[in-house]
Amino acid sequence: MITVEQHGIAFVVQANDGENRFNRTSIDQWHTALDHIETVDGPLALVTTGFDKFYSNGLDLDWLMSDGRTDTTFIEDVHRLLGRVLNFPAITVAAVNGHAFAGGAMLATAHDYIVMREDRGYWCLPEVDLGLPLTTAMYQTVAAHLPTQTLRDAILSGRRYDGSQMLAAGIAHELASVERVLPRAIEIANELGAKSREVIVEHKRLLLNS
């Protein structure tokens, strides 16, 4: 379900399991992939993407209401994934190939840059409509990178943003055709990841603590 490929200095983590929702199996695979990539020395960048029309639709609520009921560490591990991407010690780029909802939108927003598919897909934080408030860790993840007004509108309205609206709102940094979303994200990752990793890590620390 989760694969890792290297393209230059960029490591591409791809989720390919339908809506790419987070459950125990997928979260463990995400952490295993990051464990592997973080061992790499020298210039490095991380790219994440989904498949077909889904980047990720967030928590697997069906699983949570069944087998996940007894998994007492699952939400903590979701928080840990968001935190790992937000604080990843290298450049990160989300290649958002389709829908990114709830936890999937949070994961995308945790990256340094987002390349969004221009013709299809929405980014949305629907928790206000679902009756499921953001946790502190989830809020901190989206608040770290979203403009203040966008953050306010997104979490209070549950609005769905298409690609052009994401760009205008400062959620996405670039739009690309479906064929170019991942290649463009890899290009950005290789270009920026070649810069001083030590300085990138320090500057990301300053940005996140400002």
The topology (CATH level 3) of 2-208 is 2-enoyl-CoA Hydratase; Chain A, domain 1 (3.90.226)
**119-143 pLDDT, tens per residue?**
999 999 999 999 999 999 999 999 9
**23-75 pLDDT, tens per residue?**
999 999 999 999 999 999 999 999 999 999 999 999 999 999 998 899 999 99
| Tally of residues, the chain | 210
Q: What is the pLDDT of residue 106?
A: 98
Q: Mean per-residue pLDDT for 63-92?
A: 96
Contact 90, 44 (CB under 8 A): yes
In this prediction, what percent of the chain has a pLDDT beyond 70?
100
Q: Is residue 187 over pLDDT 90?
A: yes
Q: Is residue 210 over pLDDT 90?
A: no
- The domain limits of the chain are 2-208
Q: Is residue 176 over pLDDT 90?
A: yes
Q: Is residue 149 over pLDDT 90?
A: yes
Q: From 203, 194, 204, 188, select the one nearest 96 (Cα to Cα).
A: 188
Q: From 28, 26, 42, 37, select the one nearest 4 (Cα to Cα).
A: 37
